Amino acid sequence: MKEFLKRELYSFRAVAAILARWLLLAIPTGLVCGAVGTAFHLAVEHVTEWRAEHIWLLWLLPVAGLAIVALYKVTGCEGMGTNNVIRAVHSGESVSPLLVPAIFFGTVLTHLCGGSAGREGAALQMGGSIGYNIAKLFRFSDHDRRTATACGMAAFFSALFGTPLSATLFGIMVEDVGLAFSVAFVPGFAAALIAYGVSLACGISPTHFALTAPALSIDSTLLVAVLGVACALVARAFCWLLHTMEHEMPRRLPNPWVRAVVGGAAVVALSYLMGVGRYNGAGMGVITAAVEQGQALPWDFICKILLTALTLSAGFKGGEVVPSFYIGATFGCAFGPLLGLPAGFSAAVGLVSVFCGAANTLIPSILLAYELFGGVGLELIALGCGVCYMLSGTHGLYSSQLFVTEKLLSEYTESWGKRLRK
């Protein structure tokens, strides 16, 4: 009996020590990510409003590109991005603390001068860097630093979008498709809640859309399934063009200074051709109009795909998730009514489904729909996500993702099998 009690006491102490260590990680990670995330949100919001009032700032996009190239050279962060943060979780690859100011100011400059990009790429990179370096400061082990990286990603994403649960699931599932890095859930969720609290205290409202959904029926189910198939094709097209241009631009224009100027000039020219302001920046106003008012142009999603791929391949900074929201929402808004679905609801299905197919994150996408739309039409939106996820293929926004299982087959992928045999 004494031996049993000793073992139980030892077990209790070990668990308490582990929980204390995760709390030690979660509190500063949540506070720092919340503070920096709030500052980042306000900065991007301010420069976006400023650009809308001063259209001439768009002409400075090539100059902003040169400034971003210089910034990344000075900080030694050339070539670093979200894929480096994902690899940090996979293999413990270090993440430079200088990535935080580099991606912060690089993204703000991109939005100031009208580059077509999002914000979450910066969020994942800054959050991952903050989490990793806090763990390094506390002398955590290599594997605990990987956990800290995922926690930082979740916390910053939560501060930026006000969706702590989906941010946490995204942070622990985006690295390995079909597998959850579950040890990071509790510290990641704690950090995400703290960061969310900081953003709320600073007056940042969570992202939320008012939505009306059709009744769950055989007809609505079949129509949403068809919409999910179409969203998978759009997600594939977006990822294909993004990766093609990210490879072709450096090959054809190997000098980063020239690439920034030429790419920036091309974005300016196309913006005037397609409509100044509509496809520049993140485009949250267009997304809101599509979901809440059922208003979008039939070619919006095509223009956004092209300008986003061009902006990011030229070396400007930001992210691909909000553009995927834009692409999905405007496509759904235009295509859904052709099937007989309400335009606003179709935009909501498209928003989450294209994101799901492009990021290869099924469960986080369904939770994101719950947090964005308050659970309205969740079963139908989840169906659209599931169909899009199954048919979107094994390519996505992040080339460093590892696929644990096939999407359509009940077996492990060859790459995952090789990793297990190491």
Residue pair 172/181 in contact (Cβ under 8 Å)? The answer is yes
Whole-structure pTM over 0.85, yes or no? yes
Quote the Cα angle for 62-65-68, to 5°: 160
CATH C-level class of 218-403: mainly alpha
For residue 122, the model assigns a pLDDT of 77
175 burial via Cβ count (<10 Å: 0-12, 13-18, 19+): buried
Q: How many helices (H) and strands (E) does the chain have?
A: 17, 2
For residue 194, the model assigns a pLDDT of 96
Domain ranges across the chain? 13-202, 218-403
Residue pair 176/361 in contact (Cβ under 8 Å)? The answer is no
For residue 118, the model assigns a pLDDT of 85
> Each residue of 285-309: b (16+ CB within 10 Å) or e?
ebbbbbbeebbbbeebbbbbbbbbb
Low pLDDT (below 50) residues in the chain: 4-5, 8-9
The DSSP element (H or E) to which 66 belongs, if any, is helix 61-75
Would 13-202 and 218-403 be classified into the same CATH topology?
yes
Q: How far is it, in rounded angstroms, from Cα 190 to Cα 152?
A: 11
| 281: region left, alpha or beta (phi > 0 left; psi from -120 to 50 alpha) | left
Partners of 176 in the β-ladder: 402
AA identity, residue 339 = L
* Residue carrying structure tokens 């000075």: 74
Q: How far is it, in rounded angstroms, from Cα 23 to Cα 400?
A: 29
Per the structure block, which two tokens stand in for 50? 């400023």
Best CA proximity match to 188, nearest among 206, 167, 174:
167
Could you report the per-residue pLDDT of 349-394, keeping only the tens digit for each? Answer: 999 999 999 999 999 999 999 999 999 999 999 999 999 999 998 8
CATH homologous superfamily for 13-202? Clc chloride channel (1.10.3080.10)
Residues 6+ apart with CB under 8 A from 388: 228, 229, 231, 232, 235, 353, 354, 356, 357
Q: How far is it, in rounded angstroms, from Cα 421 to Cα 192?
A: 34
Best CA proximity match to 242, nearest among 391, 81, 104:
81
Could you report the per-residue pLDDT of 195-248, keeping only the tens digit for each? Answer: 999 999 999 888 899 999 999 999 999 999 999 999 999 999 999 999 999 999
30, 138, 401 from 135: Cα distances, Å: 13, 5, 23
For residue 87, the model assigns a pLDDT of 72
AA identity, residue 144 = D
DSSP secondary structure string for all residues of 80-132:
-SHHHHHHHHHH-----TTHHHHHHHHHHHHHHTT----SHHHHHHHHHHHHH
Residue pair 330/278 in contact (Cβ under 8 Å)? The answer is no
For residue 240, the model assigns a pLDDT of 95
Q: How far is it, in rounded angstroms, from Cα 381 to Cα 344?
A: 12
131 phi, psi to nearest 5 deg: -60, -45
Residue pair 280/114 in contact (Cβ under 8 Å)? The answer is yes
Question: Which residue stretches of 253-342 are H helix?
Answer: 256-274, 284-293, 300-313, 321-339
